Chain A
Amino acid sequence: MAKKLLLEKAHVEGIRHYDVYRREGGYAAVEKALKMEPAAIVEEVKKSGLRGRGGAGFPSGMKWSFLAKPEGVPRYLVCNADESEPGTFKDRYLMEFLPHLLIEGLIVSSFALGSNRTYIYIRGEYAWIVGILEQAIAEAKQNGFLGKNILGSGFDCEIYVQRGAGAYICGEETALIESLEGKRGNPRIKPPFPAIKGLWDCPTVVNNVETLAAVVPIMNMGGEEYAKIGVGRSTGTKLISACGNINKPGVYEIDMTISVEEFIYSDEYCGGIPNGKRLKACIPGGSSVPILPANLLLKTAKGETRLMNYESLSDGGFATGSMMGSGGFIVLDEDQCVVKNTLTLARFYRHESCGQCSPCREGTGWMEKILTKIENGKGAMSDIDLLWDIQRKIEGNTICPLGDAAAWPVAAAIRHFRDEFEWHVNNPARCQTQNYGLAHYADPIHVPA
């Protein structure tokens, strides 16, 4: 069993409540942190090597050290609980089962950053979790861990939960800030970065739920100890939400040294593919990251075993690799159609584009239309090239990375599965009823007995 730093207590009876959480050692990180200098906490987080768990993987300690501290201006910490990247449902799990872990992480982080008013921005659809979090906040407050002069330290802090209302783009940090200000979720042009000018034009740090929860074990064990877990620049543990065609979908906390193969096939994790089917492809880090065919998923182009960590998953760049992303792990078995899967993702990005930039607004619409044509047997060979051309014209030409996120899945599908697109064009009558590609893509290593 891999070491668990976040979910270890997830199944302790009553852990959602303060008394049980406290009895299990909860809030020790706050007690420790409030006796330290805020800058020393930032230093511990730097030493831990923690990288943002929201998708970009930016070093958290470094991000914290960029926060501007002008005299007399409030600073804000905002927890990003918008979790809307298809395939991702780990933050939901953490908040539902261990709300106090997040609150504890938020208190420590608020103290480190000097935020007296901290917001959790949660996607509107997670409505029932709002109550769970507010209950945990109220309990923490009753016990002196929130409010005025926490544990006699002189530090005041309140945490508020803000519900969104259905918009993937509000997960992008500047769109999230706009939304928190009561506006449409249109991303801002950067710079200025939120660390300088964020919520209500004040210096702001936006971090993912899992990132902020990880601050608790970092405080408890020290940054150096945390950094010893994992491998290379992939320190600590990572939550992976696994879904698609696997026997045991769910949220797993992994030590980033295990192989992708072990993750998919071992009973401790996904438990293999249902009905003895073979592995065709996988999107390992949420819908935005490149899809990989089975052979490139299990081994890198160099023939090395691919591991479940930032470096290994991106080995080979976009030509032969993918990304860790948000940890949304989507598995496709041999019966699945890559064109259809790509179409649902293209539709998602068209739906979620905020519409500010033409390449994203128009391009996502065109990609959906062309994919619909191909999927329904009405496409031409030239449509595949057109699709490729459109995605290239979106990438890098937009205000926020949603444009790239829409382009990458389409690009990777064509890069690795071009013959499946061509088969759709050549077999209009069969493309709705039959899947192509088994012989080509299904993983030859795992032919069921």
Chain B
Amino acid sequence: MVKFSEDKLKEVQSMIDRYPKGKQKSALIPLLHLAQDEFGGWLSAETMDYVASILGIEPIEVYEVATFYSMYNLKPVGKHVFEVCHTGPCMLNGSDHIIAYIKRKLDINVGETTADGMFTLKTVECLGACGYAPMMQMGINYREHLTEAKVDAIIEECRNKQ
């Protein structure tokens, strides 16, 4: 069963307090981020229903939002998600090459997760790091100026975190 800890519930309340009375629905997007982080890196129907109950809104209002924004995962993902940018400026600096390299190295296609559940590879649109291309997002951090050697080091780093 999904349920926030007492500490997290305090955080939820402080999110709701940022808005005028009766406007608690505004907390939905930050709350979904919190829920995704807490409950396994993705939003199951159960998680979304729980979020709806906290905010006193209909579950459909949560589904509508969760399906609109690209940062919410609607199915399970690997422990480490590589989100490589492939928009114009990154493409001009070789993002195609980096994506191909990661595919080879992890033996997966874009959108797939490695069999051991460690890595998911995604391509994403411009992340506002165009001057530091090629780049990817991993968790809350950006990894910039990617090269094959850097990708190797990042994969190594993730494996060592086990």
Contact = CB atoms under 8 A, between A and B. Distances in A.
A, B: real partners: yes
A184 B64 contact: yes
Given A89-B128, A125-B137, A126-B128, A160 B18 contact: yes
B67 to A, nearest CB: 8
Interface string B103-131: 00000000000000000000011111111
Given A117-B20, A181-B23, A167 B92 contact: no
Interface string A232-256: 0000000001111100011100000
A341 B91 CA distance: 8
Given A167-B70, A345-B88, A180 B130 contact: no
Interface string B31-49: 0110000000000000000
A360 interface: no
A165 B29 contact: yes
Contacts of A185: 68-69
Interface in B108-162: 124-133, 137, 140-141
B81 to A, nearest CB: 12
Given A128-B140, A163-B29, A330 B128 contact: no
Interface extent on A, as a size class?
Answer: 35 or more
Contact of B89 (A243, A340, A347, A352): A243
Nearest to B25: A182
Nearest to A121: B29
B93 A167 contact: no
A99 interface: no
A123 interface: yes
A188 to B, nearest CB: 15
A163 B33 contact: yes
A88 B29 CA distance: 24
B2 interface: no
Interface of A: 74, 83-89, 91-92, 117, 123-128, 160, 162-168, 179-185, 200, 241-245, 249-251, 283, 287, 328, 330, 332, 336, 340-341, 344-345, 347-348, 351-352, 354
